[in-house]
């Protein structure tokens, strides 16, 4: 039996691929599957506009996974009947003042130096595409290839697909430890039981570093990074925007984003806060989200505020995922996806499945093995 710890988008995705291949696989989740960072996310598939200096090594992986998404969504639809709302209107980053325009000019030349297909829009051109943008929007860059999905529908579809392929899902069961002997995995433990297995895939998001029994050299140093978010409800037949819009940030919201879903839900995020496992909402966080979103899209003022929540991104030391084998035989890692868990899920599922079944570490995941942190593995993050 292959045990997957964590029933988020990566755990379920890997489980689905393994179950499809005829493996006996069980996913364990400490709560309800798909209700952690997967549920809290915004569903953006935007490696272009989210490309960052110093993270160029992540770009090929992100672009490859993005290219898989349309097929992944179609396969989920044909397998489960669940449409995960894959939307191709693209992503726009807007600026309000002269400083923002200079920042966007810089971003554009960086993106172009990476060979990415992004282009400049004047404020007028941006409003032609998205007429409800604020009059103050004076500049924008636009990426037609950065798409989005409804992450909550993806979780539902993956759960259905996994179960339909013969996978076993055990919810509300917390795995508290991994048992190893002679450098190999032999079991996992709950508070009451020991479950024998020689293959464990650790996909527990922000909780991935906390399990007892994992040798230090195999422990993924992942920490929670809090994100507060809100949603307002648009009229689905009369939405304020159709593309994903990013705008200027401030303080705990480094950049504001607005991701419209086809059911009219407009997801607005997010704070980025080093607060450990705290998921409390703060007045300041929500105020910043509303104010920054209103600056870009004033029409949200009259919309019903339908939800507010906080999620915990699983962040590694270099903000890139930790994938593939560890130093402990039978302990495989699929964690640390930081802000990119939804984007990287199809590739994570495929690559980790290939490794587990054939022992192949694919070229695309070689830069993301745990051993890149070897020198620092025993110190704290
Ligand atoms: N990927 C969106 C976020 O981390 O806020």
* Cα–Cα distances in angstroms (integers) from residue 47 to residues 56, 95, 191, 258, in the given order: 11, 19, 40, 16
Per-residue confidence of the chain (381 residues) as pLDDT tens digits?
Answer: 999 999 999 999 999 999 999 999 999 999 999 999 999 999 999 999 999 998 999 999 999 999 999 999 999 999 999 999 999 999 999 999 999 999 999 999 999 999 999 999 999 999 999 999 999 999 999 999 999 999 999 999 999 999 999 999 999 999 999 999 999 999 999 999 999 999 999 999 999 999 999 999 999 999 999 999 999 999 999 999 999 999 999 999 999 999 999 999 999 999 999 999 999 999 999 999 999 999 999 999 999 999 999 999 999 999 999 999 999 999 999 999 999 999 999 999 999 999 999 999 999 999 999 999 985 444 454
Q: How far is the CA of 246 from the centre of ligand 1 (A)?
A: 11
Are 314 and 381 a contacting pair, CB within 8 Å? no
CATH 3.50.50.60 fits 2-81+151-221+317-380, yes or no: yes
* Beta strand ranges found along the chain (DSSP E): 2-5, 25-28, 44-45, 91-95, 118-122, 139-143, 147-148, 168-170, 177-181, 184-189, 194-196, 199-202, 223-233, 244-250, 253-260, 265-269, 305-315, 322-325, 331-335
Strand partners, 265: 233
pLDDT of residue 282: 98
Q: What pLDDT shows up at residue 381? A: 47
Ramachandran sector of residue 83 (left: φ over 0; alpha: ψ -120 to 50; beta: rest): beta
Q: Which residues have C-beta within 8 Å of that of residue 372, sequence separation ≥ 6?
A: 318
Pairing of strands 244-250, 91-95: parallel
Q: Is 270 in the pocket of ligand 1 (CB under 6 A)?
A: yes
Q: Give the model's pLDDT for residue 131.
A: 98
| Coil, helix or strand at residue 286 | helix
How far apart (Å, rounded) are the C-alpha atoms in residues 188 and 273? 32
Question: Which residue carries 């819009």 as its tokens?
Answer: 245
pLDDT of the residue at 379: 47
Report the distance separating Cα 364 and Cα 340, nearest Å.
16
Phi-psi region of 304 (alpha: psi -120 to 50; beta: other; left: phi over 0): beta
Q: Decide if 183 contacts 297 (C-beta within 8 A).
A: no
Determine the atom of ligand 1 nearest the C-alpha atom of 341: 1
Q: How many CA atoms lie within 13 Å of 186's alpha carbon, on the beta-carbon side?
A: 6
Which of 369, 259, 356, 284 has its CA nearest to residue 322? 369
> Across-strand partners of 108?
none
Domain ranges of the chain: 2-81+151-221+317-380, 91-147+224-315
87 CB-contact burial (10 Å; exposed 0-12 / middle 13-18 / buried 19+): buried
Structure confidence at residue 374 (pLDDT): 84
Q: Report phi then psi at 92, rounded to 5.
A: -120, 135
Whether residue 46 has its Cβ less than 6 Å from ligand 1: no
Phi, psi dihedral angles at 90 (to 5 degrees): 95, -175
Burial of 191 (0-12, 13-18, 19+ CB in 10 A): exposed
Is the torsion defined by CA of 248, 58, 178, 29 positive or negative?
positive
Q: Which CATH homologous superfamily contains domain 91-147+224-315?
A: D-Amino Acid Oxidase, subunit A, domain 2 (3.30.9.10)
Dmax of the chain from CA atoms? 66
Pocket test for ligand 1, best of 227, 273, 288, 345 (most atoms within 8 A of CB): 227
Atom of ligand 1 nearest to the CA of 229: 5
Taking CA atoms only, the protein residue closest to ligand 1 atom 5 is 270
Q: What is the pTM of this model?
A: 0.95
**Residue among 42, 226, 344 to mutate when testing ligand 1 (max atoms within 8 A of CB):** 42
Protein residue with its CA nearest to atom 4 in ligand 1: 339
Are domains 2-81+151-221+317-380 and 91-147+224-315 of this chain identical in fold?
no
Helices (H) and strands (E) in the chain, counts: 8, 19
């Amino acid at each position: 039996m292959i045990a997957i710890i964590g029933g988020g988008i990566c755990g379920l995705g890997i489980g689905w691929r393994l179950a499809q291949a005829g493996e006996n696989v069980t996913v364990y989740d400490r709560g309800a599957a798909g209700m952690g960072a997967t549920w809290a996310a915004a569903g953006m598939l935007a490696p272009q506009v989210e490309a960052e200096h110093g993270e160029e090594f992540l770009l090929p992986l992100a672009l490859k996974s993005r290219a898989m998404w349309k097929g992944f969504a179609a396969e989920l639809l044909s397998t489960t009947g669940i449409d995960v709302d894959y939307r191709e209107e693209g992503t726009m980053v807007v600026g309000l003042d002269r400083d923002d325009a200079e920042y966007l000019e810089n971003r554009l030349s960086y993106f172009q130096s990476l060979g990415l297909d992004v282009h400049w829009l004047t404020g007028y051109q941006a409003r032609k595409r998205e007429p409800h943008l604020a009059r103050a929007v004076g500049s924008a860059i636009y990426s037609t290839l950065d798409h989005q999905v409804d992450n909550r529908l993806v979780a539902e579809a993956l759960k259905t697909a996994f179960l339909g392929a013969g996978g076993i899902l055990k919810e509300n069961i917390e795995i508290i430890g991994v048992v190893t002997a002679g450098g190999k995995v032999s079991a996992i433990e709950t508070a009451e039981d020991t479950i024998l297995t020689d293959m464990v895939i650790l996909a527990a998001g922000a909780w991935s570093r906390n399990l007892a029994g994992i040798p230090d050299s195999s422990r993924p140093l992942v920490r929670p990074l809090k994100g507060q978010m809100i949603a307002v409800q648009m009229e689905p037949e009369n939405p304020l925007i159709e593309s994903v819009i990013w705008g200027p940030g401030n303080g705990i919201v480094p950049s504001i984003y607005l991701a419209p879903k086809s059911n009219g839900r407009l997801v607005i995020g997010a704070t980025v806060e080093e607060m450990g496992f705290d998921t409390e909402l703060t007045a300041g966080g929500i105020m910043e989200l509303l104010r920054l979103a209103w600056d870009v899209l004033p029409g949200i003022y009259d919309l019903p505020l339908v939800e507010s929540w906080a999620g915990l991104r699983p962040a590694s030391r270099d903000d890139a995922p930790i994938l593939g084998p560890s130093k402990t035989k039978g302990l495989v890692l699929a964690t640390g996806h930081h802000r990119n868990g939804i984007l990287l899920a199809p590739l994570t599922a495929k690559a980790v499945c290939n490794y587990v079944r054939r022992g192949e570490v694919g070229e695309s995941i070689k830069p993301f093995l745990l051993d890149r942190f070897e020198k620092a593995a025993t110190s704290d993050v």
